[in-house]
Amino acid sequence: MDRSSAAYDEDFYAWTQAQAQELRRAGAERNNAPVDWENVAEEIECMGRSQKSEIDSRLGVLLVHLLKWMFCPDLRERCARGWRLTVREQRKKLIREIKESPSLRPYIAEVFADVYSDARLRAAVEADTPDGHFPVEPPFTLDQALDPAYPAELFPPEWRV
C-alpha cells in the first residue's frame, strides 16, 4: 500500500484535502491536460466538507437531547428511551467520524460553542419552553458530551454499551 492509500484509510478528510492540492498542482503543470482538474479538485474538497457538515448535524442533535435531558425533567418519563437511543447513536457516529478522520477532532472542538448555541435554541423549540430555560454557556464540555457514561443518570451501566 502506498503512502496515499494509507492516508486514505487512516484519515479520509486529510486525504481529500491533500489530493485536492495535488490535483491542482498537476493541473497547473498541465499533466493529463484533458482532465478538468479544478472541478475534480473542488469535488474532492466537497467530499471532505460533507464530513464537516455531518459532524455539525450530529453534534447538534446530540446537544439538543442532552439539554432536554438535563433541563426538562418533566418530559423525561415520556421521552427517556428515545432520548437515550438518540444520544447513544449520535455519540457513536461522531466518534466513528473522528476515528476515521482524526484531523477533524480540532474541527469539532472549534465548532462546539456555535453548535451549542444553535442546539440551545432548537431544544427550546422542541421542549416548547423559552430560550432562557437553557444556559447560554454549555453546561458540559465536548469530552463530556461524547462520553458514553455522561450524564450518569441518562446512562445507567446497562445502557453504556
Gyration radius of the chain's alpha carbons = 20
pTM across the whole model: 0.81
Contact indicator for 130, 120 with CB cutoff of 8 Å: no
**CA gap 104, 42 in Å, rounded:** 19
Between CA 49 and CA 51 the distance in angstroms is 5
Listed residue (139, 83, 89, 143) closest to 116, CA to CA: 139
What is the Cα–Cα distance from 88 to 8, expressed in whole angstroms?
27
CATH topology of domain 3-159: Malate Synthase G; Chain: A; Domain 4 (1.20.1220)
Say what the pLDDT of residue 53 is.
95
Kindly give the interhelix angle for 73-100 and 37-71, rounded to the nearest 10 degrees: 150
Digit-by-digit pLDDT tens for the chain (161 residues) are 455 556 777 888 888 888 888 888 888 887 766 666 777 788 888 888 899 999 999 999 999 999 999 999 999 889 999 999 999 999 999 999 999 899 999 999 999 999 999 999 999 999 999 989 999 999 999 999 999 889 888 877 776 65
HSE toward the beta carbon, residue 9, CA cutoff 13 A: 6
Question: For residue 119, what pLDDT is reported?
Answer: 98
* Side chain identity at residue 61, one-letter code: V
Distances (CA, A) of 108 to 24, 44, 54, 141: 27, 20, 11, 12
pLDDT of residue 83: 94
